Amino acid sequence: MPPVDYYDVLGVGRDATAEQIKKAFRRKARETHPDVSDGENAEEQFKQLNEAYEVLSDPERRSTYDRFGTADARAGGFGGGADFGDFFGIDDIFSAFFGGAQQSTRVRLEGRDMRAQMVITLEEAASGVKREINVTRLGPCTTCDSTGAAPGGSVTTCPVCRGTGQQRTARRTILGTMESLSPCQRCGATGSVVDPPCPTCDGDGRTRVTEFVTVPVPAGIADGATLRVPGKGEAGVRGARAGDLLVTVRVSAHEYLHRDGDDLHAMASINIAQASLGDTIHVPALFGEEDVSFGAGVQSGETVRLRGKGMPRIRSGEGDLIVHLRVDTPRKLTKKQRELLRELGGSFGTGSSAPTPLERLKDWLGA
């Protein structure tokens, strides 16, 4: 007999996607199933349809079929000869001894988690905020209310697999009868049958939607933290549990403040008079400005810590605001300023003095 063209059996092109193959199989299965078809060859056609779907829905078997015209990889090496695996029952032996027959073949009904990202300001991270993000996902089908059945239709337990989504097949081998599990073709391994299927979602119970999802951000959240929004991931098949939306929060850099854990750091420049006499200055903070006081004689690099003026902690308390002081030496002076500084410098002395005998001894020893 001439080889069967599986693509022709399903009515799809050779470039068909996995989703197109799946939809074509469901459509053909409803037409050719022996329970609903009156054709003389309905059973043979349905068997051929299952065979085509089993091959083309499996990426590896489909690749082998496209290369050699058969799903049996051994045909590529033996010129399409006899199927020695079926003759000796090798496939069943491996399945029985290495757990293949125990593997679950039921499709995933629960929706998968989805990931998204959002950017907020440091102020929003400090106060907490509710933000809306635009998400495109598989959402519940509104036409059938996620049941997968058309209006007036029904959803029943699959009579072939009895709701398990799996078909048990027994085969006789030289070692006896071996059993294996395979996806139930009647229900598409879902365990239920919709009759007739919803025209909008094709019986899946979900459709692609784009919607705004509100994400509550707690005060004190850290950059890179992930928030979970329950039920806003991928919808489940025919009303099964939906996945969650996992949102990664990125906190944008602040113009004046640098965050380190729950503490905030700020830089403040002071002049030599303020450093010498002490002063109170205003420093940018999260929400406005804070007064920062320091005593006389501070040096560049010294810090002033304002307790509780940093980021709030998610559980309780707040971090600190740490102000780093930097003494600026003026590069340009007016004539009056220059005179005053000379007078001030003279009152301090020249800043140098003759070395003591001990200092001269250290210099000599180090020479």
101: burial class by Cβ within 10 Å (0-12, 13-18, 19+)? Answer: middle
Q: What are the two backbone dihedrals, phi and then psi, of residue 118, each rounded to the nearest 5 degrees?
A: -140, 155
pLDDT at 362: 62
Q: Which homologous superfamily does the CATH classification assign to the domain defined by 114-251?
A: Heat shock protein DnaJ, cysteine-rich domain (2.10.230.10)
Taking 90 as the threshold, does the pLDDT of residue 32 lie above it? no
If one looks up domain 6-81 in CATH, what number appears?
Answer: 1.10.287.110
Mean pLDDT computed over every residue of the chain = 83
pLDDT at 90: 38
Half-sphere exposure of 49 (CA within 13 A, CB side): 26
Model pLDDT for residues 193-204, shown as the tens digit of each residue: 888 999 999 888
Query: Mean pLDDT throughout 240-251?
Result: 95
Give DSSP secondary structure letters for 286-342: TTEEEEEEE-TT--TT-EEEETT-SPBPSSS-B--EEEEEEEEPPS---HHHHHHHH
> For residue 163, which amino acid is it?
G
Q: At what angle do helices 42-56 and 18-32 cross, to 10 degrees?
A: 170
Whether omega for the bond prior to residue 196 falls within 30 degrees of 0, making it cis, is yes
pTM over 0.85: no
pLDDT at 364: 63
β partners of residue 323: 266, 304
User: Residue 119 in contact with residue 250, Cβ under 8 Å?
Assistant: yes
- The C-alpha atoms of residue 101 and residue 129 are separated, in whole angstroms, by 52
**Domain spanning 258-341, CATH architecture:** Sandwich (2.60)
Where exactly are the structural domains of the chain? 6-81, 114-251, 258-341
Tokens of residue 30, six digits: 């409803």
β partners of residue 197: 149
- The C-alpha atoms of residue 190 and residue 183 are separated, in whole angstroms, by 9
Model pLDDT for residues 309-365, shown as the tens digit of each residue: 999 998 888 999 999 999 998 888 899 988 888 888 888 765 555 666 666 666 666
- The C-alpha atoms of residue 312 and residue 85 are separated, in whole angstroms, by 67
User: Residue 10 in contact with residue 53, Cβ under 8 Å?
Assistant: yes
Residue 231, helix vs strand vs coil: coil
Model pLDDT for residues 140-191, shown as the tens digit of each residue: 999 999 999 998 888 899 988 888 888 877 777 656 677 777 888 888 788 8
pLDDT at 92: 42
Of 50-59, 291-300, 320-329, the range with the lowest mean pLDDT is 50-59
Taking 90 as the threshold, does the pLDDT of residue 267 lie above it? yes
